[in-house]
Amino acid sequence: MRSIGHFIGGREVKGTSGRTGDVFEPMTGDVQAKVALASKAEVRAAVENAKAAQPEWAATNPQRRARVMMKFLELVQRDYDKLAELLAREHGKTIPDAKGDIQRGLEVVEFAIGIPHLMKGEYTEGAGPGIDIYSLRQPLGVVAGITPFNFPAMIPMWKFAPAIACGNAFILKPSERDPGVPMRLAELMIEAGLPPGILNVVNGDKEAVDAILDDPDIKAVGFVGSSPIAQYIYERAAATGKRCQCFGGAKNHAIVMPDADMDQAVDALIGAGYGSAGERCMAVSVAVPVGKATADRLMEKLIPRVESLKIGTSIDPSADYGPLVTREAVERVKNYVEIGIKEGATLAVDGRAFKMQGYEDGFYMGGCLFDNVTKDMRIYKEEIFGPVLSVVRAHDYNEALALPSEHDYGNGVAIFTRDGDAARDFATKVNVGMVGINVPIPVPIAYYTFGGWKKSGFGDLNQHGPDSIRFYTKTKTVTSRWPSGVKEGAEFSIPTMK
């Protein structure tokens, strides 16, 4: 059985805490590895290593830092298939989905390669008599990322690529459920030429998280996970003076207007609702058809599609989706289905009894579809994070617009329509951070920012895009005046550019 330690100082090191966690293979239910769970002392060792290495890296010119990113990009592409299989076997998502996970991370690496341009400041000559003013972007020092199980390649790269490109050293605390890919990415960064100590990986649980939040040498923390933990991390990090960006849960709606291309809308709902077994923060978990006729047509098409979903192993190329990440995750989702039934929703498709032939101990669950869900139900209010789609029928457009706008979560939303006026009005008015128009999962491309509103996001700056450069740097503004031609004598009034 594999043993997974930590990655500190450019190499893998064994854990010393004496505590370990199980890493399962979701498609079989077997334990495939033991991962070390870091103590506070181990986190501190990683921070000290990073702190010692960071000044020289910050002094390395941006173009050379970009070259490391370019080489890393090349190495990940070289090992693409191996990384995808490792990811699929630890997480449970299918190989094609795992490749998409890696690719979306690499797109942020590609963005970070532009760091020589992105780090440029501003300059004003002659702002006053003999006075020039310019601004600099400088790295923060040591920063950290706490990343979730559902995107073990993408979100770590979203965090460490811009941070390291800016000249920071990075402490990554990935999910202990699927740590293999983050560890391998760290190895590839060293192979790409990154100095030891600039990227350290500490595996662990709450003890490691709290050690990161309380460490005085860590200047910023990024997090993706559930909303209660996002709020906890945000508040604790802010209390110690750290910058913090935390992204939480979601309840993403898809509004289906009467004029929508129904086949397109159904395809979108099936893929976005059930892909990766629904274990995505951008999964569509609520469909909102407008009007009874639209709802009836939608259900008529959705039911057979959900019933015919092909659930398979992570390595089955024909599977629509694979197992969930743990047995506890399956039980949690099944419990929500039971809650929905008790609350009075109509369970149109029940996938709870699904068993994978030959893999009966794996963490599988068939697709579930609810109709007649109302906004007072727990299955509407809370994030289920599984292969469950709820249909909430809206009488008219205004009711459909109000549902995502008034929900506690505000991560993503989509509208399906042929009406440009309706789409424009919806995009302008809906109280949600990311909007798709005939696009079911509106994850922006890497040079825009990603982030939700309300309980889906805590902090002022988003992930990747220009916000990531702002988050991982501090701005220094310099006002300079040279003696030549300067009037002598003390000035007691406040300086102005009069």
Catalytic residue numbers, as ranges: 281
Residue 223 CA to residue 248 CA, distance in Å, equals 8
Between the alpha carbon of residue 50 and those of residues 7, 152, 168, 439, the distances in Å are: 11, 22, 9, 41
Other beta carbons within 10 Å of 27: 23
Residue 180 CA to residue 184 CA, distance in Å, equals 6
Other beta carbons within 10 Å of 213: 23
> Cβ neighbours of residue 232 under 8 Å, at least 6 residues apart?
none
Alpha helices in 275-359 (DSSP H): 292-307, 327-343
Residue 428 CA to residue 409 CA, distance in Å, equals 18
Nearest Cα neighbor of 468 from 449, 443, 483 is 449
How many Å is the maximal CA-CA distance in the chain?
89
Residue 182 CA to residue 187 CA, distance in Å, equals 9
Helix H or strand E segment including 199:
strand 199-201
Cβ pair 351, 324 in contact under 8 A: no
Q: What would the two tokens of residue 97 be?
A: 């989905």
Q: What would the two tokens of residue 145 be?
A: 């990322």
Residue 168 CA to residue 125 CA, distance in Å, equals 30
Angle between helices 80-91 and 95-112 (to 10 degrees): 120
Nearest Cα neighbor of 330 from 363, 358, 360 is 363
Cβ pair 274, 370 in contact under 8 A: no
Q: What would the two tokens of residue 9 be?
A: 């100082």
SS3 of 381, please? helix
Q: What is the dihedral of CA 167, 168, 169, 170, to 10 degrees?
A: -120
Angle between helices 206-214 and 40-59 (to 10 degrees): 50
